Amino acid sequence: MSRNPQPQEWLTLDAASSPPRLYATGEWTLAHYASLQKAVSDMTASITADVEFDYNGLRSLDTSGAFLLSKLLRTSSASDVAGIGQSLPSAKRNLLRAVAATATGDRAIDSQHQSHTVTNVLERVGMTMVTIQHQQIRLLGFVGLTLERLFYTMWHPRRWRVTSLVSHMEQTGLNAVPIVALLTFMVGAVVAFLGSTVLADFGATVYTVDLVAFSFLREFAVLLTAILMGGRTASAFTAQIGSMKANEEIDAIRAIGLDPMELLVLPRVLAMLASLPMLTFLAMIAGLTGGGLVCALTLDIPPVMFVNLIKSDVGVRHFLVGIAKAPAFAFLIAVIGCLEGFKVSGSAESVGEHTTSSVVQSIFVVILLDALAALFYMEMGW
């Protein structure tokens, strides 16, 4: 029997035997790691799939040595975890098997990450759809719970939180007046300017008044106001309730016998229901003012004529169509903001994630509901 010794006799390969036999000898510990690593690197190219391992000369073994041996095992058919190290004492055998099993798991994870891109995309899409399904189920349940507490509280005036309601109306309504008025004023001016530019080619610039009036009374005023409230107020609701959840204040509220729905959710929902229609009306006035200013400066349509054209061409029903959507938007924005706040798990990162989620969900729901309402109004001829 001829052997080809490696440096320091760490590994010895008997290529003449059938099947080839690899002898591991010495102390495979961290103290000799550099030498062991070189021996393993030199031996790897000589190992075939049918080689057998002999550990009888292995005097000591620790995790670093077991790791190097597991690298050799991967290159042969002896990598089956159950059959590793049969000739070793139980302690060394269990250590080598555990390290080899960990290495096998790492390869499984690597192969999973290297799977087909299309499969990964489809998996992500499926997980996203399941998440959306769970979100909608929880949202419907929270809507039902909110309505139940609202109807119950209506018949019990002692449970009304008037001070909290007024405070939230100030935060959501009064403090939002400048940004809503400024934004809708500028959008009204832009719509009037674009309308006059396009309609000038047809000699119908006077219909710019109708364009501004129809767009703001039916769509732009309520939609822009709801989007602003989704970004401004829904995020505030989530951050406020989420911070209370993270600090365990909601648990304290329950512990003293109070209902978080009545104390935290209903005042915010009612404040939004009262504030958003008023802000929508303000947005209509601001948008018409911006459009009227552009018409007066570029089209020589004085304010009196602008108002008279609106009175003669635009019916009251267009105003009612727009303002009727405001309570529905307000309720959904407030409910989504509060629900995401209750979902916070207790960390600052969770507060940020759910705040972002509430803004995205509320804006998406508002736009979706507005599109459905527009189709419904069109079919009804309103």
pLDDT digits (tens, 9 = 90+) for 11-21: 777 777 777 77
Give me the residue label for tokens 């006059």. 196
The mean predicted confidence, pLDDT, of the chain is 83
**Residue 3, pLDDT score:** 44
Residues 127 and 132: their CA atoms lie apart, in Å, by: 9
Residue 254 burial (CB count, 10 A): 11
| pLDDT greater than 80 at residue 138 | yes
Report the Cα 202 to chain-centroid distance in Å: 47
Average pLDDT over residues 298-312: 87
Residues 188 and 173: their CA atoms lie apart, in Å, by: 21
Which residue, among 312, 326, 335, has the nearest Cα to 136 in the 3D structure?
Answer: 335
Give me the residue label for tokens 């994630």. 353
| pLDDT greater than 60 at residue 263 | yes
Orientation of helix 316-342 relative to helix 221-229, angle to 10°: 10
Q: Write down the domain spans for the chain.
A: 4-113, 129-380
Is the pLDDT higher at 167 or at 73?
Answer: 167
* CA dihedral (294, 297, 303, 308) positive or negative: negative
Residue 322 burial (CB count, 10 A): 25
As a CATH number, domain 4-113 is 3.30.750
Is the pLDDT higher at 87 or at 47?
Answer: 47
**Residue 277, pLDDT score:** 93
- pLDDT band for position 257 (cuts 50, 70, 90): confident
Residues 364 and 356: their CA atoms lie apart, in Å, by: 12
- What are the counts of helices (DSSP H) followed by strands (DSSP E) for the chain? 15, 6
Residues 328 and 370: their CA atoms lie apart, in Å, by: 10
Q: What percent of the chain has pLDDT above 90? A: 27
Task: Give me the amino acid identity at 87.
Answer: S
**Residue 364, pLDDT score:** 92
Which residue, among 221, 186, 195, has the nearest Cα to 301 in the 3D structure?
Answer: 195
Give me the residue label for tokens 């055998």. 93
98: number of CA atoms within 13 Å, CB side? 11
Give me the residue label for tokens 């959710």. 265
| pLDDT greater than 50 at residue 109 | no
